[in-house]
């Protein structure tokens, strides 16, 4: 069951409002909004404007995630994925792209560069303690449960 909600979006003239490409899509594609193309050098990164700002309801976050096609075909991804846009942020959404591909990549205005997912947030109270409970895994970290 997909729940529909409204997110207020302010767009600079010419900027594209995010769009879900299919009825079952979890992420809405967001586009670059640039005065001129940006060349993303191989091994480089760049902060890409979208021309959009949002009013996210309290209790929710907007996650910024990579587009799988850009990652597969060009090695271009969102560097801090998933990025979190908090409900109290009102500035322009900018996407931090990184190029792990073997060639430079050009980002042009209107290019779909990331996807946005709206998700509920649970806040917690962090309580100082002298210990935590034991589990089968214990303190085993990276790779401790096998391949």
Query: Which residues, at least 6 apart from 39, have a Cβ–Cβ distance to it below 8 Å?
Result: 104, 105, 106, 107
Collapse the DSSP code of 90 into the 3-class scheme (helix H, G, I; strand E, B; otherwise coil) and give the result.
coil
The pTM assigned to this predicted structure is: 0.89
Cα–chain-centroid distance for residue 26? 12
- Whether 7 and 105 have beta carbons less than 8 Å apart is answered as no
pLDDT digits (tens, 9 = 90+) for 10-50: 999 999 999 999 999 999 999 999 999 999 999 999 999 99
Query: Which residues, at least 6 apart from 104, have a Cβ–Cβ distance to it below 8 Å?
Result: 39, 40, 41, 42
Is residue 2 very low, low, confident or very high in pLDDT (cuts 50, 70, 90)? low
Is residue 147 very low, low, confident or very high in pLDDT (cuts 50, 70, 90)? confident
Is residue 3 very low, low, confident or very high in pLDDT (cuts 50, 70, 90)? low
Cβ neighbour number for residue 134 with a 10 Å cutoff: 8
């Amino acid at each position: 069951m997909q729940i529909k909600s409204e997110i207020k979006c302010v767009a600079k003239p010419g900027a594209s409002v995010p769009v879900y490409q299919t009825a079952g899509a979890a992420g809405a594609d967001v586009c670059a909004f640039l005065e001129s193309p940006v060349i993303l050098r191989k091994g480089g990164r760049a902060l890409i404007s979208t021309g959009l700002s949002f009013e996210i309801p309290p209790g929710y976050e907007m996650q910024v995630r990579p587009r799988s096609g850009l990652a597969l075909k060009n090695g271009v991804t969102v560097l801090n994925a998933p990025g979190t846009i908090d409900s109290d942020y009102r500035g322009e959404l900018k996407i931090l792209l990184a190029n792990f591909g073997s060639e430079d990549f050009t980002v042009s205005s209107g290019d779909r560069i990331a996807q946005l997912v709206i998700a509920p947030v649970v806040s917690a109270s962090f309580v100082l303690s002298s210990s935590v409970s034991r589990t089968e895994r214990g303190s085993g970290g990276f790779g401790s449960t096998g391949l």
